[in-house]
Amino acid sequence: MPDLTHFDDHGAARMVDTSGKGETLRVARASALVRMAPATLALIRAGGVAKGDVLAVARLAGIMAAKKTGDLIPLCHPLPIAGATVDFAYEGEDVLRIEATVRIVARTGVEMEALTAVSVAALTVYDMCKSVDRVMTVERIRLEEKSGGRSGDFRASD
């Protein structure tokens, strides 16, 4: 297992110095699941949630979160995101799947940006639907795949 790079030789937290790395295309895709009552998912699908279009608002929230990751997570680099998408799929009658893909040409990866995007998108779904379903759960936030950079490509296995 590789050493943790966010600590110096004395154990103090530090931001990783990426100045010696070359700029390459980096892409990361993450996912999350929001489990809810079937009636809640049906409301989302029908556009019947009182606060408005749940998926449109959650998509914007996820994209905005990807752009703000460096402000939210203390040791993340602030990055000039080249592209970010947030997509949704219905899995069965009670699960909304959220996927975010983030792209950049930089010296460091965008895994945290993709993970932050799906997390905030999922929380936005919860916020918009909590008046009808307080027992929703956000589950399985994970990195699905990443490419580019010194560590190479990664793809999660089921």
Per-position DSSP letters for 73-131, written without gaps between them: STTSPP---SEEEEEEEEETTTEEEEEEEEEEEESS--HHHHHHHHHHHHHHHHHHHTT
Q: Spot the catalytic one: 127, 133, 153, 158.
A: 127
* Intra-chain end-to-end CA distance of the chain, in Å: 21
- Is 87 in the active site? no
Q: Which residues form the catalytic set?
A: 127
